[in-house]
Chain A
């Protein structure tokens, strides 16, 4: 039986839009730098940032693609509080394939982020071991309060057929 059902095909093109309830803030970038162990002064020293031609401190570039800060969503039963499509396919294992980010400019503390998520593709393939796989591709486009492009995050989620195993 194909994993690429009419129901899955109908998801392609679906969009969800989230706008943060407040500016991103300088502390978010500084906190993320601390969490990942990146002591780059661009994230915590405004004088250093200005000396490099920036308006002030910024955040680690990938944070905008990693955070759920903008979503305003409540935690689910497993503690997750970010965007999800809610795709559940019986008798499959869900794994993450990868991410591709594109950045327009560095994030500023005053930016109010809007994230627009869209399912761009769903395709069925066969793994090297012969298992059927459904690959769902989503794209998040991040803009500021003036609709200026900040970044884009394309990610793939793979549903692998367990072939009757649970």
Chain B
């Protein structure tokens, strides 16, 4: 997949995000070789995700990007924003429109709530967290927004810890 922007945590990464903060967006082009790699990595060789003859017979414009990859990209965006000391505890996303091989998407979001827990650091029964709302937009060939791939989406991300707390 072609990363359009690099978003590793930098000096601008907020220590404690605030409600309304925007998340640095993640853009990604997904080509057919990426989809073949994804099929292998997930043990999912369903033909609609890589076989042009199969999708042509179904009267689709091209191989369909597996929608669950959007969840992976949203988590990538969150972890790149908050760095390694965070843990995505939950995420949900609703599909809107299909994405096809060779298209690009932009993931984006903003902070909707912040909870400051009872203690700093990795060991606490009341960890700090942020809630975020997000979307995934498929871009047209001119780079402009074309249609939503995912809307709505939301997540809760624990702060100050690289791992989870067990079943929430």
Pairing of A with B: yes
- Which A residues lie at the B interface, using CB under 8 A? 28, 31-32, 34-38, 40, 42, 48, 52-54, 60-63, 65-69, 71, 75, 78-82, 95-106, 148-149
A101-B71 in contact (CB<8A): yes
B91-A104 in contact (CB<8A): no
- Which B residues lie at the A interface, using CB under 8 A? 1-3, 28, 34, 37-38, 40-48, 51, 54, 66-69, 71-73, 75-76, 79-80, 84-85, 87-95, 122, 150, 161-168
Q: CB-nearest residue of chain A relative to B1?
A: A37
**Closest Cβ of chain B: how far from A33's Cβ, in Å?**
9
Asked whether A63 and B72 contact (CB < 8 A) given A97-B94, A102-B89, the answer is yes
Among the listed A65, A69, A105, which residue makes an inter-chain contact with B71, where contact means beta carbons less than 8 Å apart? A65
B72-A38 in contact (CB<8A): yes
A66-B45 in contact (CB<8A): no
Q: CB-nearest residue of chain B relative to A36?
A: B72
Contacts of B76 in A (CB 8 A): 36, 38, 40, 60
Q: CB-nearest residue of chain A relative to B73?
A: A36
Among the listed A34, A53, A79, which residue makes an inter-chain contact with B122, where contact means beta carbons less than 8 Å apart? A53
CB-based A-B contact count at 8 angstroms: 144
Asked whether A66 and B162 contact (CB < 8 A) given A36-B72, A38-B76, A99-B68, the answer is no
Asked whether A67 and B42 contact (CB < 8 A) given A99-B93, A103-B87, the answer is yes
Contacts of B48 in A (CB 8 A): 78
Contacts of A54 in B (CB 8 A): 162-163
A68-B163 in contact (CB<8A): no
Among the listed B3, B46, B68, B166, which residue makes an inter-chain contact with A78, where contact means beta carbons less than 8 Å apart? B46
Contacts of A38 in B (CB 8 A): 72, 76
Among the listed B51, B72, B161, which residue makes an inter-chain contact with A62, where contact means beta carbons less than 8 Å apart? B72
B89-A81 in contact (CB<8A): no
A78-B47 in contact (CB<8A): yes
Among the listed A34, A61, A102, A106, which residue makes an inter-chain contact with B168, where contact means beta carbons less than 8 Å apart? A102
Contacts of B161 in A (CB 8 A): 53
Extra pairs beyond A35-B34, A37-B1, A66-B69 (17, CB < 8 Å): A36-B41, A36-B73, A37-B28, A52-B85, A53-B162, A54-B162, A61-B75, A66-B72, A79-B51, A81-B43, A96-B95, A97-B95, A98-B93, A101-B90, A104-B164, A104-B168, A106-B87
B38-A100 in contact (CB<8A): no
A66-B93 in contact (CB<8A): no
In this complex, the member of A61, A71, A100 whose beta carbon has the largest number of chain B beta carbons within 10 angstroms is A61
Contacts of B80 in A (CB 8 A): 40
A53-B38 in contact (CB<8A): no
**Closest Cβ of chain A: how far from B7's Cβ, in Å?**
11
Asked whether A105 and B166 contact (CB < 8 A) given A28-B41, A100-B90, the answer is yes
